[in-house]
A and B are shown apart, each in its own frame.
Chain A
Amino acid sequence: DAGITQSPRHKVTETGTPVTLRCHQTENHRYMYWYRQDPGHGLRLIHYSYGVKDTDKGEVSDGYSVSRSKTEDFLLTLESATSSQTSVYFCAISPHGDSYEQYFGPGTRLTVT
């Protein structure tokens, strides 16, 4: 158990509203990641963090922002949700940055209507 929780686990929101998803870890790992998973696409990296206040974009970062003000929390924000952002969002941590092994949280199922 990698000690990762995500909240909320399910959310339904309307187009145009802001949404923030939270990833919380208990092990003080340096690396954290946000992915989305859609049918036929596999998981795609949105943003990642390599330390407090250190973040970078992944391949599908448009429409998303992140913040990491504490080691244990990595927040993903959809500034103005769109229907194309309906997806399952997974957070992951990497205990050993050099090896790139990643361990995933339980996911957040987001529906934008």
Chain B
Amino acid sequence: RKEVEQDPGPFNVPEGATVAFNCTYSNSASQSFFWYRQDCRKEPKLLMSVYSSGNEDGRFTAQLNRASQYISLLIRDSKLSDSATYLCVVILNTGGFKTIFGAGTRLFVKA
């Protein structure tokens, strides 16, 4: 089983739609969680950190469920510019530092 798993998609949605991505992780000692977006042939860019209490940034909402070991990203009112690959990231720093990236979920937003 992979340490971090994401549905690879692709998700094809119309503009204005709401879309949700989930990411599961296997190590309960995981400490920090993030969502990144990556455009084709570009570097990953930090989208948002994920906190247990949930956090929102404009149209984006991230949630962490430690009991079930998953994080989620909700995008409301999708824009064409949201088309990208979304990567979830889990950090462990117990007994050695580890950054674990999911393989990414591809999103296409269409007019």
Contacts and interface: CB of A to CB of B under 8 A. Distances in A.
Contacts of B91: 100
A101 interface: yes
A75 B106 CA distance: 31
Interface string B65-102: 00000000000000000000001000101001111111
Interface of A: 33, 35, 40-45, 48, 56, 58-59, 90, 99-107
A102 B87 contact: no
Contact of B45 (A40, A56, A104): A104
B43 interface: yes
Interface string B29-66: 00110100000001111100100000000000000000
A102 B46 contact: yes
A42 B98 contact: no
Bin chain B's interface residue count: 20 to 34
B8 to A, nearest CB: 9
B4 interface: yes
Contacts of B43: 90, 104-107
Interface of B: 4, 31-32, 34, 42-46, 49, 87, 91, 93, 96-104
A48 B46 CA distance: 18
B49 A99 contact: yes
Contacts of B32: 99-100
28 contacts: A33-B99, A35-B99, A41-B103, A42-B101, A42-B103, A43-B44, A43-B87, A43-B99, A43-B101, A45-B99, A48-B97, A56-B96, A56-B97, A58-B99, A59-B98, A90-B43, A99-B32, A99-B49, A100-B32, A100-B34, A100-B91, A100-B93, A100-B99, A101-B34, A105-B43, A106-B42, A106-B43, A107-B42
Contacts of B46: 101-103
A101 B98 contact: no
B99 A40 contact: no
Contacts of A99: 32, 49
Contacts of A45: 98-99
A45 B3 CA distance: 14
